Amino acid sequence: MALEEAQNGIEAGEGGPFGAVIVKNSEVIATGHNMVVKTNDPTAHAEMVAIRKASRKLGTFHLEGCTLYVTAEPCPMCFSAIHWAHIERVVYCNTKADSAAIGFDDTLISDIIAGRVEDTVRFEHRPSPECRELFMEWYRDPNRVLY
Which positions are catalytic?
Answer: 47
Contacts of 120 (CB under 8 A, 6+ apart): 108, 112
- Reported in sequence order, the residue ranges of the chain that DSSP labels E, i.e. its strands, are 19-24, 27-33, 66-72, 89-94
The C-alpha R_g of the chain, in whole angstroms, comes to: 18
